[in-house]
Amino acid sequence: MVNSSEKLSPWSSRNAAELYGIDEWSSGYFGISAEGEVIVRAPTAEGETQVSLMEIVDGLQQRGLQMPVLLRLENLVDKRISTLNDSFALAIEASGYQGQYRGAFPIKVNQQSHVIAEIARFGERYNHGLEAGSKAELMIALATLKNRESLIICNGYKDPEFITLGLQARKLGFKCFFVVETLAELPHIIERSQALGIEPLIGVRLKLSTKVEGHWSEDSGDRSLFGLNTNELITVVDELRKANLLHCFQLLHFHLGSQIPNIRSIRAGVLEACRYYIELVAEGAPLGYIDLGGGLAIDYDGTSSTSGHSRNYSVQEYCIDVVEAIQECLDEHQIVHPTIVTESGRATVAHTAVLLFNILDVTHFEPTEPLGELPQDCHEMIQNLWHSLSVIKPANLQESYNDLLYYRDKIRDLFHSGDISLRHRALGENIYWAGMQKVASLVPQLKRVPAELESLQEQIADIYYGNFSVFQSLPDSWAIQQVFPVMPIHRLNEEPNRQAIIADLTCDCDGKLQKFAGPVGESKTLSLHPIRAGEEYYLGVFLVGAYQETLGDLHNLFGDTNVASVRINTDGSIDFVHEIHGDSIADVLSYVEYEPNALYQQFRQTAEQAVRDGIISVADRQQMLAAYSEGLRGYTYFEK
Q: What is the DSSP letter of 315?
A: H
Q: How far apart are CA 293 and CA 272, in angstroms?
A: 14
User: Rounded to whole angstroms, how far apart are CA atoms 470 and 311?
Assistant: 25
Of 176, 319, 329, 507, catalytic:
507
Residues 6 or more apart whose Cβ sits within 8 Å of residue 510: 470, 478
Helix (H) or strand (E) holding 70: strand 69-73
538 backbone dihedrals φ, ψ, rounded to 5°: -110, 135
One-letter amino acid identity for 324? E
CA angle at residue 395 from 455 to 370, to 5 degrees? Answer: 70
Concerning whether 329 is annotated as a catalytic residue, the answer is: no
**Using CA of residue 385, residue 386, residue 387, residue 390, what is the dihedral sign?**
positive
3-state helix, strand, coil in the chain (%, to 5): 45, 20, 35
Question: Computed from CA positions of residues 297, 299, 304, 307, in that sequence, does the dihedral angle turn out positive or negative?
Answer: negative
Cα(429)–Cα(423) distance, integer angstroms:
10
First CA to last CA distance, the chain: 23
CA distances from 79 to 29, 351, 455, 514 (A): 10, 10, 41, 31
Which residue in 520, 545, 535, 528 sits closest to 353, CA to CA?
Answer: 545
**Residues assigned a catalytic role:** 507
